[in-house]
Chains A and B, each alone.
Chain A
Amino acid sequence: MVVLREGMCPGLSEELVGALRTADITTVEDLVSSDTEDLAQKCSVSYKALLAVRRVLLAQHTAFPVSGADLYEDLLSSTAILSTGSSRLDKLLDSGLYTGELTELAGGPGSGKTQVCFAVTVHISYQLKQSVIYIDTTGGMSASRLLQMLQVKMCKMEEQMEALQRIQVCRVFDIFSLLSCLHDLRCAGLQQMGGGSVKAVIVDSASAVISPILGGKQNEGMSLMMQLAGVLKTIAKDFNVAVLVTNSVTRDGNGHLKAGLGLSWSHVPRTRVILERLQDPGLTCSSLRTATLAKSSRQPCHLNEEFDLQGWGRNEDQLHKVAGKRKLENIHTS
């Protein structure tokens, strides 16, 4: 709803707004939807003036179509694929997180969502030298863990500090502060002091702020959830950044894992990966996780990869052997 106010556009004077109000026209939608000629007669205002105002208001408030060829050109030059740092996860995501898209990591407690977010953050800020905005809604953000991950990479102290400076952390604990935080970021043009353009926005976790407002017969919670989805998607597209959110999981009727937050949210992410801890009693190493592609427009779904949280980006070949063998076993048993 866009309420008509005087001075919104040239020609929309106080008298005109007043005259329109007598005909029950108070918003731009009303004005645009009604027949201009009838309206001019009803309010006894100039038809030409009203037509001009309508045209300007339309131009101000519509989205403009772009030619597909131009868009393709733009995309080829501007889309970046941000490697996550893990070759297995990259393989699943068709080489990484795409800018302009919303990607979701779903998984139960301890399935490694936050650790993956940390690892991706560190990889983007240190290896790719790009800035990251990390929105923490659970209080799980730990700077010392980030530093620890950087130290593993054996770089110099200054480089570590530089990398940490490229990570901007926002702490919010409810949906309203999250929405206002995103709004502020958007108004500031997603710039940040550390230099370098922001390439990724990470929200860990989306479900922590959304699930408390859902339930019952009220619509407000659903509305807020979809508003959040809208803001995240527009940020991804307008600033050409990769957006990564985390979500909880539930089980469907057949006992399979599926992402939480219900049917409406299920349509929101463009790519969804479900993380799971490996349930293998014979295995002592507990940092092994499996990632399953649950939604993608580029790769077939149900692709499955195993990765090691501890050795993010290292020893992956070694793991590959183990994983390859285990995968075979899985097929036999299932």
Chain B
Amino acid sequence: MTTTTTKVTENGAQLFARLEGRRSLRDIEAHIFPDGAGPLQGNVVEFHGIEGSGKTETLFHLVTRCILPADRGGLEVEVMYVDTDYHFDMLRLVTVLEPRLGEEAKEEEGVAAAESEERVRACLGRLSLVHCSSSVQLLLTLHYLENTFCCRPALCLLVIDSISAFYWVDRSGGGESLAKQEANLKKCSELLERLLRDYGVVVFATTHAIMRNYGQSGHADAAAMTPKQPESSSSFSSSWRNLSSSHASEFDKAYLSRAWQKIVTHRVLFSKGEVTQDKRQMFSAACTTTKTIGVKRSSFCVTEAGVRFL
């Protein structure tokens, strides 16, 4: 019954979106993701790290790669950016975007400033931005976006920065019951799961490291895993995500709803490295996935023109 009604109301564009499938983002960034295990349609990548560990900057790097035209080395796909942290800095994104767009323009010299401005606009046209200020709004917005995913086959990437923004407010709002506390995030995760299955978008979401793993370091690593998974009786195994723990175990605690953790397929752990002699802050990312064994590590620094991998 349901299927018949939906199919009747489906238009050509929607049918195309459903049948054609979206582009995968497998090759989005070889430095971060392990060989051949980049995010495919329906994958969820979680970016986890403390404040100032380069999460948002890395997102900008990846978003830039998505919205750049193909002749500038981009993927030329559309991106939906859900900003719950109010950290999205459009001016910064343009700063990152411009040099990558204009590399050849400089040689030509003749290219007018207006033309390059036009190209920036064309890229930004592939980006949609939405701000959410509560978990209810996030849930309802995701429901609303379903139609957008349906109509726009070029929309391949959904960014949620960050999915943990309403954690404390929800914790307190739900009273004593853990189920109530997590209700909205659970609903969001279930909805996302369906959207991923039906539309094949890729989700990048950041989570803030706001919990400290007390009693970490070396041998305590295994012990620290136990409180992390209070209901580990279920079949869901979390061993893959703990591979990267040795990297920055202190802030690795996964505290969000299990419904969310279940849909995550890639996890990238960010940490701040040392400061080099020329006062440059180094960052590192450790990626684990459900499909690969081991940890893919990469280190980068942030320059005026965005993330630079080393």
Contact = CB atoms under 8 A, between A and B. Distances in A.
A254 B61 CA distance: 31
Interface residues of B, number: 70
A135 to B, nearest CB: 19
Contact of A67 (B124, B168, B172, B210): B124
B217 interface: no
Contact of B128 (A66, A79, A263): A66
Interface stretch (B32-40, B130-138, B259-267, B286-294): B130-138
B197 interface: no
A65 B140 contact: no
Interface size class of A (residues with CB under 8 A): 35 or more
B90 A230 contact: no
Contacts of B137: 61-63
A220 interface: yes
A66 B90 CA distance: 12
Interface string B58-69: 000000000100
A299 to B, nearest CB: 9
A190 interface: no
Contact of B143 (A58, A67, A226): A58
A21 interface: no
A81 B216 CA distance: 44
Contacts of A295: 51-52
Interface string B112-124: 0000000011111
B128 A67 contact: yes
Contacts of B7: none
A297 B104 CA distance: 26
Interface stretch (B10-18, B220-228, B232-240, B275-283): B275-283
B50 A263 contact: yes
A270 interface: yes
Contact of A61 (B93, B131, B136): B136
A208 to B, nearest CB: 20
B130 A63 contact: yes
Contact of A37 (B2, B94, B302): B2
A201 to B, nearest CB: 14
11 contacts: A29-B136, A65-B148, A67-B127, A68-B90, A68-B125, A72-B124, A219-B168, A234-B133, A237-B131, A264-B168, A298-B95
A222 B136 contact: no
Interface string A94-114: 000000001000000000000
Contacts of B143: 32-33, 58, 62
Given A263-B210, A266-B51, A267-B85, A65 B2 contact: no
Nearest first, the 3 A-B pairs at minimum CB distance are A223-B172, A68-B127, A68-B124
Interface in B47-106: 50-52, 56-57, 67, 80-81, 85-87, 89-95
A223 B281 CA distance: 32
A69 interface: yes
Nearest to B128: A65
Nearest to A231: B133
A262 B211 CA distance: 10
Interface string A25-66: 000110011010100000000000000000000110111111
A239 B133 CA distance: 15
A301 interface: yes
Contacts of B184: 29
B124 A267 contact: no
Nearest to B148: A65
Given A67-B124, A233-B86, 5 more contacts: A29-B136, A227-B169, A230-B169, A295-B51, A300-B279
A263 B75 CA distance: 35
B187 to A, nearest CB: 5
Nearest to B145: A65
A302 interface: yes
A266 B130 CA distance: 23
Contact of A222 (B50, B128, B145, B168): B168
A68 B129 contact: yes
B54 to A, nearest CB: 11
A32 B90 contact: no
Interface in B143-187: 143-145, 148, 162, 165-169, 171-173, 183-184, 187
Contacts of B86: 102, 233-234, 236-237, 270
Contacts of A67: 124-125, 127-129
B129 A65 contact: yes
B117 to A, nearest CB: 10
A128 interface: no
Given A65-B80, A65-B130, A66-B130, A298 B92 contact: yes
B171 A219 contact: yes
A116 B95 CA distance: 30
A63 B121 contact: no
B50 A266 contact: yes
Interface string B1-25: 1100100000000000000000000
A117 B134 CA distance: 30
Contact of B191 (A33, A61, A63, A227): A33
Contacts of A222: 168, 171-172
Given A61-B140, A234-B133, A72 B94 contact: yes
